[in-house]
Structure 1
Amino acid sequence: MNRSLATTEPKLARPRYEHRGIDFGCDYNPEQWDPAVWREDVALMREVGVSLVAINIFGWSDLQGPDGGIDFSRLDEIIGLLHDADIRVNLGTGTSSPPPWLAARHPEILPMTIDGTLRYPGGRQAWCPSSPVFRRYALDLVEAVAERYGQHPAVALWHVSNELGCHNAHCYCDVSAAAFRRWLRERYGSIAALNRAWGTSFWSQRYTDWDEIGTPRLTPATRNPGQVLDFSRFSSDELLGHYRAELEVIRRHSRVPVTTNFMVTAHIRELDYWTWAPEMDVIANDHYLDHRLADPSSELAFAADLTRGLAGGGPWMLMEHSTGSVNWQPHNLAKAPGQMLRDSLQHVARGADSVCFFQWRASLQGSEKFHSALIPHAGTDSALWREAVDLGAVLERMGEVAGTRVVGDVAMLFSWEAWWATDAENRPSSAISYLDQVWATHRALREAGATVDIVRPGADLTGYRLIVVPGLHLVRDHEAATLDAAVRAGAHALVTFYSGIVDEDDRVRPGGYPGVWRDLLGIRVEEFSPVLPEQEVLLESGTRASLWTERLTATDADVLDRFVGGPAGGLPALTRRRGTDGAGDAWYLATLPDGAGLARIIDQALTAAGAGRAAGARAGVDVIRRVAEDRSYRFIINHGSEDVLLNARGVDLVTGETATGTIRVPMGAVRVIREDAVS
């Protein structure tokens, strides 16, 4: 292309997904059902209020056989039925799980695990993200699907693949190794620079040629941390590259918005979604309650706030969640009566303008046959279906909430890179992980009534009164500088232990911990002193803590609490460096307090910062506002076992009742008050 012409062509604006009120959606897999069922399903979708349906997510083997021919007849029919019913289509590209014939013909596409063994067809995502063979076949399918449906009026959204990296994020095969070397060449430019970044002088690991570098498979001893960290970055980038490749094909045929479903959840950490988010026309997330955790509802709230952060504070899509139990946990618990509504509106309260489920009709066969659905195996004569009908009615009444925003004055810094670096093979204590501090501080802020925006390190922190930095082990200098600048401008900061320790190359900053933030916090830590999981730490205030202590000196900070006994007995556990000349205060917490102790510390920091709090919020009761210029909506979510009374004035969109003073929110219930005035 002539370069001068290329620079003068107008750049098309990114397509914007238009929510129709609060979307009520689901995944549908018509290939599992006889076409006679399709018409019944579409009629029931209209009855319950479904407005957006994801199809062709796993449709590859139904569309294409080994001869390469593509049969669109069944997909044509179901798209036509949905369109005739005025139900919009979220159209999958169909590439998430290749058909068995492809692996049989090209076994080189299969992914390799960390121990050097292959993973085979029979499940899903049996493909290497770096495989050029897989990508060629996948993009040929995308080309055919996009060409056929790119202008179809039913298609409101394109859905690239599905949960990219859920099962195949890290492939250790030779094809991946070659791709990894290309990525490293682009990142470092020279072997010498790579050796410096990875610290290869340790254990005689110095490289002399690019071809000596492979993927970090299992080794006799622990692996090089720099290599492992870069491999995580590479793997995230490689899957993002696959997304971009499919997006490029779609864009040749359609201007409909494009996305893929993220997995912002407790057990998926392989993708750095901060780097993915700018590529999405709309942010979409899949979330399932994880009953392996002590407090699944708190993790839901965190995941929803983080997804809103990825969306830049704007509306986002809950692309998948469940009506009841899942099928992949050791104990797949059913949801209690009313919990489907409560969980759904928890996401809406924190910014979701779509509530979608996996899936529409429960499968009769396959790995997910015991995964819940809007229509369970019991059919429509079931309590679960009746709850779905009720949810559809509530979402219809809540359509006016769409487009409003959640606005907070507390920020929390979160980083997937820090997660990777913190939970490494060699660390001060394997008893504690990155998410322990993240979840604990988020839960304490939530129970204190703070509205928390979760932001990327280095993001603009203007306007926040309190900035919380839980265990941000890896941080770049320029990212750390944004926190310093925010505190100088008047914001308060609360930094917790193991933060600021290493740079982007996982290189420890010398001179004492917490490295990059010693001066900001007015402290210096000489040594970490973790304690055993069964041991308890006591502070002078009476607070009980666990897992971590430090040998800390306050160089320019007030000591607010000290350790009593233990490896750091008599030394500071909580400090506060008071700001001068308009600067904010900088707090440091050197241990992991119990819930009550952390709540007291969070309360002190919020009060000192003058941060806003939602009246009535407490443990077990969420209170969140979504606001626009001319209206506000107050979500009150009672997770507890007792009714609660709160002051409210306005119309409740859940029940239709008018609140004129005090309202009762029954245990397990949700109220959404359209308030008389923004406050």
Structure 2
Amino acid sequence: MTRNPRPFDLGALAYGGDYNPDQWSEDLWAEDIALMQEAGVNIVTLPVFSWPQLETSPGVYDWAWLDRIIDLLWAGGIHVDLATATATPPSWLLRAHPEMLPMDADGRRLAFGSRQAYCPSSPVWHENVARLTRAMAERYGEHPAVVLWHVSNEYGDHTARCWCPESSRHFRRWLQERYGTLERLNDAWGVNVWGQRYTDWEHIEAPRRAPGPINPTQLLDFERFSSDALLDLFRLEVDILHAATPDIPVTTNFMSMFRELDYWRFAEVEDLVTDDAYPDPADSASHVGAAWNYGLMRSLKAGRPWLLLEQSASAVSWRDVNVPKPDGKLRSDSLQAIAHGSDGAMFFQWRQARYGQEKFHSAMLGQRGARSRTFAQAKALGAELTRLAPVRGTRVRSRAAIIVDWDAWWGSTAAESLPSQRLNWARQVRAYHRALHALGHPVDAVRATGPFDGYDLVLAPNLYIADAAQVQALTAFVEQGGHVVVGPFSGVVDTEEKVHPGGAPGPLRALLGVEVDEQWPIADGQHGQITCGADTLGFTAWAEWLEAGDAEVRGTYGGGDLDGRPAITRRAQGAGSAWYISAMLDDDALQTVFRDVLADAGLPARERVDQSLDAVTRSDAHTDYTFVLNHGRTPLQVVVPEGHDLLTDTAVAGVMQLPAFGAAVIAAPRADGIPFLTLTDSPHTQGGHA
């Protein structure tokens, strides 16, 4: 069946949040809608957790209350992101089928009382999910308010893995499809180690707690399977919605850079990427991590705009200490998401709950109602977003990308028998992004097989699992003038967790021109140094005994067991170059090395760095929209391009002073190159605003 879903476009940036009218008396609904209109809300998400209120017993529905609120919202000019309400099972379903409750790795059934209390592989769960999704689509698929389908909620947040008998049965089917024969599986898993050969498919179980370390290939396959099991569940609903309402786009809300699910594969199934993001106000650098999360979100659909579906208006309720957002941060956090490619800013939730697990989670409308601080800020932001309507549909411009590969993530972290548990895939990726962000570059995400078109620089902080297709793509990129940086513990094993012949970096050896003789983890509390020209670079946790081969040595270990040995190398190939960094460098060291890498790639780097500055350009065919954001509590002075600030409706040029949590969005004719903003200590400003 050919689908042609209409674009998700409200004629303005999306603004609103989760709405739970069934938690409130209907007497409040009219007040809610009036206050939404006052705040500029144009879309809400509902009814995410309302299955028991909609289907009170099997096949018995109560649609009346949902009919009324959708009609009222639409009459008030507010669109609906309609959830299928399959985020968690009702109690009547679990009491009738307790076998569909999930089981942990110790073999314990998890109980009803929170959310996501289901085994993703349960056929009973699939049957009931399909029934409710079909009923929702048939009832509301033609309602003019419904502009987006919202499937389930935050897949994998509470139940990402299940070790119950049903999961084991599904795991065996998945393995049979992957390997075909038991002999092929035995070969792939290397079962001759520790006497684990299987003589019957029925002998294979989900890898529950064992007396010692578990077969690493079995663990890797279980990670792959578990992601696929939830993807199958997602596809079940998507297929029903596509068939019943082919013109309405479909999404499910992601959770930023989330280990448990391969979002590349999930994004292939949906029409619009949406994300839930909760940077910690207590962390002065949390916006840097958010910038990377948003880089991933925009990249999952090859640069197309995405949507921030959830964020907090102030404090959340699930950290050990839940710090509120200071004045200005609700605005700056929202503008950051839009800067990095979101076509809106939405919140969890509209009205703050009075009871339940999230009653201390902030909302656009706080406990004091229209008198609450968050409502005043949300109202001001809603008015401001109307000025940014021209940004809608534009794309972020970037010349650098980081490889995100879930196989490498799972393989380098799932196994118990590794050289070190301190070499964390996600930490490496975030460190590489942090360095480029400080030096002035927004960063996209790419698959290890590309495509790499449009980029000058591609980073692979850790490609633990490497295969021929990935190496071929990276080599072609370098030969055509691209520049690649590969981090430590890369090219170690193949897709079956077998060490490549000759050891690391395996198939990357020819491209990098190096060989790793031995991994050399650093004991906790110890630090190392690398001499790189006139610079001394610091590192912790990880190093490698490296043979440079035909690569140019750009840095050597100083002191310790590796004294004088190569640590950082560069190899020219074709019109480009391939760098290898064999240690876990600290932030300052990475910035130092990346300055050389950026120069190699012909890209600029900021002389003065301040993590508070976030500068990103979104463009269409004719106009650049450069977002300049100060996420810090002290003013910044930034050299900005000549243009028109949409937020203040004023002309700007030269040096602009941004106050704490200040922002500008500068419209200018599209430039050939991406506008590159730098910091200055000059006290002289030309324009500026709060």
* TM bucket normalised to smaller: over 0.9
556, 566, 576: which is aligned to 1:562?
556
Contact map agreement 2:619 2:670 (CA 8 A) in 1: no
Is 1:672 matched with 2:665? Answer: yes
Contact map agreement 2:292 2:443 (CA 8 A) in 1: no
2:238 alignment partner AA: L
> Deviation digits for residues 572-593 of structure 1, max 9, x if unmatched?
11111123xx431111111122
576, 582, 602: which is aligned to 1:584?
576
> Deviation digits for residues 185-224 of structure 1, max 9, x if unmatched?
1111000111111111111001111101010111000111
Contact map agreement 2:3 2:242 (CA 8 A) in 1: no
Is 1:644 matched with 2:633? Answer: no
Q: Please, which moves more after superposition, 458-467 or 365-374?
A: 458-467
315, 319, 332: which is aligned to 2:309?
319
Aligned to 1:607: 599
User: C-alpha root-mean-square deviation of aligned residues, in Å?
Assistant: 1.6
Aligned to 1:455: 446
Name structure 2 gaps, 5 residues minimum: 673-690
Aligned to 1:658: 651
Aligned to 2:359: 369
C-alpha distance in 1 between matches for 2:585 and 2:334: 31
Aligned to 1:282: 272
1:105 alignment partner AA: A
2:554 alignment partner AA: L
Aligned to 2:686: none
1:250-649 matches, within 5 Å, as: 250-255=241-246, 256-265=248-257, 268-290=258-280, 295-424=285-414, 425-540=416-531, 541-579=535-573, 582-611=574-603, 618-648=610-640, 649=642
C-alpha distance in 2 between matches for 1:19 and 1:596: 44
1:510 alignment partner AA: P
Instruction: For residue 184 of structure 1, report the CA deviation from its aligned partner.
Output: 0.7
C-alpha distance in 1 between matches for 2:630 and 2:285: 15
C-alpha distance in 1 between matches for 2:496 and 2:177: 16
Q: Percent identity?
A: 41
C-alpha distance in 1 between matches for 2:650 and 2:504: 56
C-alpha distance in 2 between matches for 1:615 and 1:86: 49
C-alpha distance in 2 between matches for 1:594 and 1:356: 35
Contact map agreement 1:653 1:671 (CA 8 A) in 2: yes
**Alpha carbons of 1:204 and 1:70: their partners in 2 closer, same or farther (altered >3 Å)?**
same
**Alpha carbons of 1:660 and 1:583: their partners in 2 closer, same or farther (altered >3 Å)?**
closer
C-alpha distance in 2 between matches for 1:190 and 1:48: 60
Q: Please, which moves more after superposition, 297-306 or 378-387?
A: 378-387
C-alpha distance in 2 between matches for 1:436 and 1:385: 36
Q: TM-score with structure 2 length normalisation?
A: 0.94
Instruction: For residue 311 of structure 1, report the CA deviation from its aligned partner.
Output: 2.0
Instruction: For residue 290 of structure 1, report the CA deviation from its aligned partner.
Output: 4.3
C-alpha distance in 2 between matches for 1:542 and 1:614: 20
C-alpha distance in 2 between matches for 1:410 and 1:116: 45
Is 1:208 matched with 2:199? Answer: yes
> Deviation digits for residues 8-67 of structure 1, max 9, x if unmatched?
xx7233443224321112000111000011110011111101111100111101111225
Aligned to 2:683: none
Is 1:245 matched with 2:239? Answer: no
2:331 alignment partner AA: L
1:560 alignment partner AA: R
Instruction: For residue 641 of structure 1, report the CA deviation from its aligned partner.
Output: 3.4
Instruction: For residue 293 of structure 1, report the CA deviation from its aligned partner.
Output: 7.0
Secondary structure in 1 aligned to 2:239? helix
> Deviation digits for residues 205-246 of structure 1, max 9, x if unmatched?
011111010101110001111111111111111111111111
C-alpha distance in 1 between matches for 2:620 and 2:604: 18
Aligned to 1:4: none
142, 153, 158: which is aligned to 1:162?
153
Contact map agreement 1:28 1:54 (CA 8 A) in 2: yes
Aligned to 1:6: none
1:233 alignment partner AA: R
C-alpha distance in 2 between matches for 1:673 and 1:322: 26
C-alpha distance in 2 between matches for 1:547 and 1:421: 19
> Deviation digits for residues 615-672 of structure 1, max 9, x if unmatched?
9874321111011111111111112333222233222222333214322111221111
> Deviation digits for residues 518-544 of structure 1, max 9, x if unmatched?
111111110011112211101223111
C-alpha distance in 1 between matches for 2:647 and 2:294: 21
Q: Please, which moves more after superposition, 91-100 or 618-627?
A: 618-627
C-alpha distance in 2 between matches for 1:607 and 1:344: 33
Q: Please, which moves more after superposition, 82-91 or 640-649?
A: 640-649
C-alpha distance in 1 between matches for 2:562 and 2:13: 53
**Alpha carbons of 1:162 and 1:366: their partners in 2 closer, same or farther (altered >3 Å)?**
same
C-alpha distance in 2 between matches for 1:557 and 1:72: 68
1:98 alignment partner AA: P
Aligned to 2:19: 28
**Alpha carbons of 1:335 and 1:160: their partners in 2 closer, same or farther (altered >3 Å)?**
same
C-alpha distance in 1 between matches for 2:407 and 2:316: 29
Contact map agreement 2:557 2:566 (CA 8 A) in 1: yes
C-alpha distance in 1 between matches for 2:469 and 2:6: 32
Contact map agreement 1:19 1:353 (CA 8 A) in 2: no
**Alpha carbons of 1:108 and 1:458: their partners in 2 closer, same or farther (altered >3 Å)?**
same
Secondary structure in 1 aligned to 2:275? strand
2:18 alignment partner AA: D
